[in-house]
Structure 1
Amino acid sequence: MTSFSQSILKGYRILLADEYADPRTKDWFLVSSPVPLFVILASYLYFCTQIGPRYMESRKPYELKNLLIVYNAAQVILSAYMVWEGCAVWSTYNWYCEPLDYSQNPVTLRMNNICWVYYMAKITELLDTVFFVLRKKDNQITVLHLFHHTLMPTVTFFGLRYVPTGHGTLFGLINSFVHVIMYSYYLVAGLGPEYQKYLWWKKHLTGLQLVQFVIIFLHNIIPLFTDCGYKKFLHAPILIFSSTFIYMFGNFYVQSYLKKTKTENSNGKNKLH
């Protein structure tokens, strides 16, 4: 076995080792091992990029109107619940730097439960792309979309298994707040063409998604310069994750709105001449 293979095997054993996992969450559903999650994500990507498009190639798009209304409404309610619970816990937290807490403190246990619900939400959100495939909305299935939906449950798994408390959990609270607004948008959009006039804020939704990652990035820089009981190395993946999405969402925003507006204005001026 090569040294590279040995390193991979060692890393995998660390992921499975209970000694590194939080004893309060390590045996929870879809948390005891990364294998089920990786199987779900691999199946998701294979369906959305291979099986699904081939299946739909010679078929008309499914409407799924009633299903989407129920799905989007459920996501709004679920996200709102996590915002409510998250705000209740963070009202007792130190916003500047909240340490890790492995005790049986009721507030901490409450945060553990919120983290698990958030993890389940990230898995159910994979259905976003499945619905795009079945409705033949191929233009919505971008690299950014697939990357975002694959990475979010992965990051959440590791957070829930190893550090389901403390400073890093603000990420989930902010993201849940954004999703209340995002799925409200999808809910209204799915009601029919007559509701399109109420969707003027689509551009601002993309901007809000970008702002959330800026806030998360800045919030996770703070503990790097202070010692409050939250391990500094834990911020590295969050900083990499958030900075990656700042770039990707920022580029999407520029390409979809700023350059598009500039082109439309330029075309308008040409018509006047």
Structure 2
Amino acid sequence: MIQVIKNLMDGYAAAMANGDPRLADWPLMKSPLPVITICCSYVYFVKYLGPQLMKNRQPVDIRYLMIFYNFIMVLISALLVYVFAIKAWFNGYSFKCQPVDYTPHGDALLIAQASYFYFIVKFLEFFDTIFFVLRKKFSHVSTLHVIHHGLMPFSVWWGLKFVPGQCFL
């Protein structure tokens, strides 16, 4: 049993060593554990803690905050589409299969940075569900919705860690 654990730990270390070296020092990119912790905390809050905290309270009126949030999310999405369109999709990248360019400068680095920004945005999208909880719209907090938002940062992390030029939107 100890040998199995040692083999698993060695395999994990080898896999992490094969990550994109450009991203090695970027926040949340050393290990998947912080991302898993944040995602699990999100699920715990929106499914258990948040509804418990809101049980004996009035719904929070966050209409203007939601308008601002949605406006910012539209701007962010437009910026990401623009960057990927100009620097990747209409700049010679294949729509089917693109070899990863690990060049530490130029368009390859910009695509890696844009992919990382996309990854961070997945955490910002947690606020969609948090707003439902604060407004006591618990019927909107479906299991599918929570699974989707809870897994997206984790799934994007793997692509970003190993093949950042392949993080398709």
What is the TM-score with the length of structure 1 in the denominator?
Answer: 0.57
Call closer, same or farther: CA 1:116–1:63 in 2, change over 3 Å: same
Call closer, same or farther: CA 1:48–1:8 in 2, change over 3 Å: farther
Question: Quick check: 1:134 aligned with 2:126?
Answer: no
Q: Which amino acid aligns with 1:139?
A: S
How far is 1:4 from its partner? 6.0
Give the structure 1 partner of residue 77 of structure 2.
79
How far is 1:49 from its partner? 1.2
CA distance in 2, matches of 1:139, 1:80: 29
How far is 1:72 from its partner? 0.7
How far is 1:154 from its partner? 0.6
CA distance in 1, matches of 2:22, 2:30: 11
Give the structure 2 partner of residue 68 of structure 1.
66
Q: Which amino acid aligns with 1:136?
A: K
Structure 2 residue ranges without an equivalent (≥5): none
CA RMSD of aligned residues (A): 1.8
Q: Deviations over 1:37-94 (max 9, x none)?
A: 1221121111111111111111111110111111111100001000000101211212
CA distance in 2, matches of 1:95, 1:120: 24
* Correspondence 1:39-78 to 2 at 5 A: 39-78=37-76
Q: Secondary structure in 2 aligned to 1:109?
A: helix
CA distance in 1, matches of 2:66, 2:139: 18
Q: Secondary structure in 1 aligned to 2:21?
A: coil
Figure out how many residues of one structure are paired with residues of the other and give that number: 167
Give the structure 2 partner of residue 91 of structure 1.
90
Call closer, same or farther: CA 1:141–1:3 in 2, change over 3 Å: farther
Structure 1 residue ranges without an equivalent (≥5): 173-273
Q: Secondary structure in 1 aligned to 2:22?
A: coil
Question: Quick check: 1:117 aligned with 2:114?
Answer: no
Call closer, same or farther: CA 1:130–1:7 in 2, change over 3 Å: farther
Give the structure 2 partner of residue 103 of structure 1.
103
Q: Deviations over 1:147-189 (max 9, x none)?
A: 1101110111111111101xx333x2xxxxxxxxxxxxxxxxx
Give the structure 2 partner of residue 37 of structure 1.
35
Q: Which amino acid aligns with 1:91?
A: F
Aligned-pair identity in percent equals 36
Call closer, same or farther: CA 1:133–1:2 in 2, change over 3 Å: farther
Give the structure 2 partner of residue 159 of structure 1.
159
Q: Which amino acid aligns with 2:51?
A: P
CA distance in 2, matches of 1:56, 1:130: 11
Call closer, same or farther: CA 1:41–1:96 in 2, change over 3 Å: closer
What is the TM-score with the length of structure 2 in the denominator?
Answer: 0.89
Call closer, same or farther: CA 1:34–1:96 in 2, change over 3 Å: closer
Call closer, same or farther: CA 1:11–1:72 in 2, change over 3 Å: farther
- Over alpha carbons, which structure has the higher Rg? 1
